Amino acid sequence: MALLKISEPGKRQSAINTKPAVGIDLGTTNSLISSGYRGNIEVLADTSGQFLLPSVVRYGKGVRPIVGWMAKEAAIGDPQNTVSSIKRLLGRGTSEVENMPQFEQYTFDASRDEGAPAIITEAGVKDPIQVSADILSELLSRAHDYIGEDIEGAVITVPAYFNDAQRQQTKEAANLIGLPVLRLLNEPTAAAIAYGLDSKEEGNVIVYDLGGGTFDVSLLCLKKGVFEVLATGGDTALGGDDFDYILSNWIAKQVYSDENPILEERGRLIAYANSVKHHLSLHESADLEFNNWRGSLNRKEFLEMCEPLVKKTINTCRRVLRDASLSVEQIDNIVMVGGSTRMPIVRQALESYFGRAPLAAIDPDKVVAMGAGIQAEVLAGNKSDNDFLLLDVNPLSLGIETMGELVEKIIPRNTTIPVAKAQEFTTFKDGQTSMIIHVVQGERELVSDCRSLARFELGGIPKMVAGAAKIRVTFQVDADGLLSVVAQELSTLKMSEIQVKPSFGLDAKAIEEMLRSSHQNAELDMELRAIKEAQIEGRQLIDAINSAREIDGDLLDELGHNHLDNLMHELSENISNGTIEEIREATERLNRVSSDFAASRMDLHIGHALKGEAIDNIDR
């Protein structure tokens, strides 16, 4: 008779042949963790049954940091030592965050000009990476309690518009607590995974993600299990917190004569505004009471107050559709993500713009964590009943600077990642032995209008005439959106490389401005590029002729030298002051006149090379 293995009542059933992996939604306002250890993806709760973990950390002298609900409550009485919305600081410099109104209660270490900003607390100086690591550590403790063993790895979600610096610091936070990162996953894409596997929908889907502190829109194409992000847009400094700030400022005008509450009451006022916002999501009006003031506010008044924010999100949807060359009628579904999408004013605005009600079958707070958990199970090697391919895109074009301060785009905007692309370049001057590789990001044609990411040098290039050397530059963007650049001289295989880790992030408004200006200045940029290229071609021709005259000048008589001098002077004048047509015409005239000189040089050098060779050996 076989024995049956039984477990004690209430004891957890262990998973069979499963590698423990988790999905983490590291949010601005709240964070969550999910696991598929028992076979189904579950969002893990704490001992009190709360699955949301407020992304708030309180630091005290000589004690362990407090994370979550207790820290959130402490923010009212001790705002300077309680850090919230830290996600907005990731990848930013100190000078950027000091002027952000959301962080006016913090004191920053002004001596740290570069890198992550440092917040001064009773427990010492803390930076965004450390604060994020403390939040991740608290989430990880939930997973350990649930699984009972070490975690194989985690998929951590980030906003689709996070740049290299913001993504890198997210990974560094996980590394700080020894948590292996299987992958960084865009939040809207994680939501698409959750909805795609559940509803088996195909077509074009807008993922509208309005969280506490960040906003993202992704346009995805779902076909036969393939998820492809066609275009993305968003704002890393827009979220539900901003609705709270608008409402708290309105209340402050009613309560305080100078409209500026004392620091100790600012936290309490924002918390109260948040509760009023939630009330108006369920009811048409709210009775207000703060300190000795009483009043009321209805949903329509709140809508008018917040209309600029809602309109800003709809404009982003419009830009994303334009980038993908799709119309509103071609959108099959709208997926709602983030707790802030519960606001009726948001849902009404989306339904009005797209002409259809958005999907909300999955809890908008949980959907990103669930998608991350599904992806974690796949990457950990656990069995999956569904096979799907996930393709993300890079939000801005990546390239290098070429002569004339022009940008050569190597990976265009909205290219599917992970991706590796290479392009060959050459030297501009005779005898050039090194080359500076200037990596830039942006949509404009001139370097001055784009963002500089990094510079590095490739040395050891053999001395050759201009244009003879071959340097291959390879750009590789991994699945986490991080960029590495390799430059290699092909004859000697000399190589130099760099991984782009900017010291601070790109402001969301600047990203929007870069995209807007690229559309507005497209025609002007192409004209400027054309004239720059004509100028470069002219200078190269002048340099080549001067180099040739130094070597074989005796092939020309005095009249020939004078003729070339006059034409080169004419071309130089046009390069400085002429139109593109004048530059091209002068270049063509100099090319025609110098062609006889070039032919004489070729005959001379071929003759020297073949001297003494038997005619039968020439073709061998």
Give catalytic residue positions.
25, 87, 187, 209
Q: Is the dihedral of CA 44, 47, 50, 53 positive or negative?
A: negative
CA–CA dist 6, 9 (Å, integer)? 9
CA–CA dist 407, 443 (Å, integer)? 9
CA–CA dist 224, 203 (Å, integer)? 10
CA–CA dist 320, 315 (Å, integer)? 9
**What is the residue-wise DSSP string for 407-470?**
EEEEE-TT-EESEEEEEEE--SSTT---EEEEEEESSSSBGGGSEEEEEEEE--PPP--TTT--
592 burial type by CB count under 10 A (0-12 exposed, 13-18 middle, 19+ buried):
exposed
* Start-to-end C-alpha separation, the chain: 85
Angle between helices 522-552 and 580-610 (to 10 degrees): 30
- For 370, the token pair is 């669930």
Could you tell me if 114 and 239 are in contact, meaning their C-beta atoms sit under 8 angstroms apart? no
CA–CA dist 38, 455 (Å, integer)? 48
Q: Please give the distance of CA 108 from its chain centroid, rounded to a whole number.
A: 25
The partner residues of 554 in beta bridges, in order of sequence, read: none
The partner residues of 574 in beta bridges, in order of sequence, read: none
CA–CA dist 619, 113 (Å, integer)? 66
**Distance of CA 193 to CAs 16, 143, 387, 416, Å?**
24, 22, 11, 17
